[in-house]
Amino acid sequence: MEKKIKTSTISSMGSGGTSNISTIASSSHQPTTGIYYYTTGNRKINVHKPPYTEEWSRCFQHGKIQLKILQQHALEGDLRSSKMRSIYWRLFLRILPLNKDEWLSIVERYRCEYQEMKIKHSRRPQDFNEGDPQSNNPLSLQENCPWREFFYNTELKEQIIKDVDRSFPEVPFFKNPETRQIMVNVLFIYAKEHPHIEYKQGMHEILGPLLFVLNYDQENFITLKEANVINSLNESDKKLLTYLNDPHFREHDVYQMFVGIMLLIESWYIYGDENLSKSDDENSSNSDGKES
């Protein structure tokens, strides 16, 4: 089933572009959040900036999550300096359901699935010991030759690396080798899992803001946890937040966020490819007509 999400909500969260990344970076040292709260009739009140635990309690701890209200906060820019933006992203992209009790199992499943994809697409030709030796060699022209895929993957990664190395040069975060490796891995796995789109130039600029926000949230949570700021939360919520903000799974989590974004905009890439193919066919036809 196609996921229907308001793109205006997504764009207001900072979905891409150098200016958006710069805005996020400039607010990364703010000690408080910027969310507003509403009373009956959507009248805005209480414009102070509450601490991390209060934001969590108001938005996620009591009853069903009010997605429409959170979307309104996002549209008005009230989430701009929140330290939970990666959670809001996952809610808006339908990665996380409105039932918070399901989050742990769903995130665990997504992480396992990504790890399996990563293993599948990291196999080398030498790992394929079975089959005809004539087909499993670098010079084979057979369609099922594992070396053909190896050479294609190498070329694909080179293209991705070239783009990733140019990502947001004014932001130090994107000069970090670990950041770049995560981006290369995610874009490569996405291309392999979505052959109808593959990798297109510019996708790194969509992934970048997502990874930046996820990293920002995780680093802030670790700092707050070490300072015992989250101790006022119940054990279940502390466990959930710790799991969601585990930096060891940063790559796994940002992959799901990127897939969620691409579900919204993949038609632009497919439509662009169709137009390009149509234009090439027309040019070829015109050229043949002139020659005849």
Is residue 80 a contact partner of residue 88, using CB atoms and an 8 Å limit?
Answer: no
The pLDDT value given to residue 41: 47
Smallest CA-to-CA distance from 87 within 115, 67, 113, 105 is with 67
Predicted confidence (pLDDT) per residue in 96-106, tens digit: 999 999 999 99
Of 37-51, 114-128, 153-167, 198-212, the range with the lowest mean pLDDT is: 37-51
Give long-range contacts, CB 8 A cutoff, 24+ apart: 151-158: 153/121, 153/188, 153/192, 156/188, 156/191, 156/198, 156/199, 157/184, 157/188
Q: How far apart are CA 284 and CA 269, in angstroms?
A: 22
Instruction: Give the total residue count for the chain.
Output: 292
Predicted confidence (pLDDT) per residue in 183-216, tens digit: 999 999 999 999 999 999 999 999 999 999 999 9
The pLDDT value given to residue 106: 98
The pLDDT mean for the chain works out to: 79
pTM above 0.85, yes or no: no
Residue 44: band (very low, low, confident or very high) from pLDDT cuts 50, 70, 90: very low
CA 202 to chain CA centroid, Å, is: 14
Largest CA distance in the chain: 81
Of residues 275 and 148, which shows the higher confidence score? Answer: 148
